[in-house]
Amino acid sequence: MGLVEEPVISISGLWMNYSDRMVLRGIDLKVFQGQIIGYIGPNGAGKSTTVKIMLGLVEGYNGKVEIFGRDIADGDTAYKRRIGYVPEVAELYDSLTAREYLTFIGELYGLKRSSADNKAERLMTLLGLEKSYDMRIASYSKGMKQKVLLISSMLHDPDILFLDEPLSGLDANSVMIVKEIFASLAARGKTIFYSSHIMDVVEKISSRIILIDAGSIVADGSFAELKEKSAEGSLEEIFNQLTGFDKYRDIAGEFVACMQEVSPV
Ligand SMILES: Nc1ncnc2c1ncn2[C@@H]1O[C@H](COP(=O)(O)OP(=O)(O)OP(=O)(O)O)[C@@H](O)[C@H]1O
């Protein structure tokens, strides 16, 4: 009998409501080592909520969430040392330099200050930011800040990376480097779980795409598999079809008409 691979993430019957609003409606999901998961869905579908629950940042859910085979509700937070996170809206300490920020984060993850500093400086240099390492983050451009966030999530060599719009603000060359980093990490058995609204990127870099709509999973498979099940060609079209959206022309038309209305004086 062959070995049965254990999932690194296992979610069963996950329900979540905020006051009287049901946000997640029975999510069931198993994620395995080496997968690059594109977790997609319309605004407000419940993507960030799912990720925040897995990170232990949101409580009060129903269902079971296991990371590395352990129920995260059992109180043992050791799993957090083995995950990295790039949030949707990041609190970067603008008054710190990247050196100060990244060595601080490295130490939080248990690295020695000198090794965190050394590693961070080399990673910054690889992403073209060597000259900015000792500059305050406040002076960074959007893309430069995103690179610092990506480095901060990977400094401690995590086994699972959770990323929200990981390529946000990056130029075309940097996008190619980061995509290659993800592929290389996945080939080494790391798991990448990211959300993005940029469908052509999701189409290209995910080994598995999970589409959530109004708190439920409505599609789960590789891009080729999703394409087979749908009459549509691109992921954008599949997304529109599965979320029942076909009104973009009408909405845009009405929007422009409304903008151009001349109000009576
Ligand atoms: N702290 C909160 N309190 C109340 N409602 C919340 C809270 N956080 C999220 N919600 C609601 O939960 C729903 C799902 O939000 P969530 O942030 O998970 O969506 P999302 O899929 O990540 O959306 P987006 O694509 O816009 O980032 C939304 O209706 C949102 O208003």
* Architecture in CATH of 9-84+192-260: 3-Layer(aba) Sandwich (3.40)
Query: Domain boundaries in the chain?
Result: 9-84+192-260
CA–CA distance, 114 with 103 (Å, rounded to integer): 8
- The reported pLDDT for the residue numbered 69 is 95
**Residue 232 — pLDDT band, cuts 50, 70, 90?**
confident
ipTM of the complex, rounded to two decimals: 0.97
- The reported pLDDT for the residue numbered 31 is 98
CA–CA distance, 58 with 237 (Å, rounded to integer): 32
Residue to mutate (ligand 1; options 15, 20, 47, 210; most atoms within 8 A of CB): 47
Task: Please report, as a single letter, which amino acid is at residue 183.
Answer: A
Residue to mutate (ligand 1; options 19, 40, 43, 48; most atoms within 8 A of CB): 48
CA–CA distance, 85 with 108 (Å, rounded to integer): 13
Q: Is 18 in the pocket of ligand 1 (CB under 6 A)?
A: yes
pLDDT per residue over 131-145, tens digit each? Answer: 999 999 999 999 999
Read off the pTM.
Answer: 0.91
The tally of CA atoms less than 13 A away on the side-chain side of residue 191 is 21
Q: How far is CA 201 from CA 1, 174, 204, 245, in A?
A: 39, 13, 5, 20
pLDDT per residue over 36-58, tens digit each? Answer: 999 999 999 999 999 999 999 99
Q: Could you tell me which of 199, 139, 190 has the C-alpha nearest to residue 165? A: 199
CA–CA distance, 195 with 234 (Å, rounded to integer): 18
Per the CB < 8 A criterion, the answer to whether 45 and 12 are in contact is no
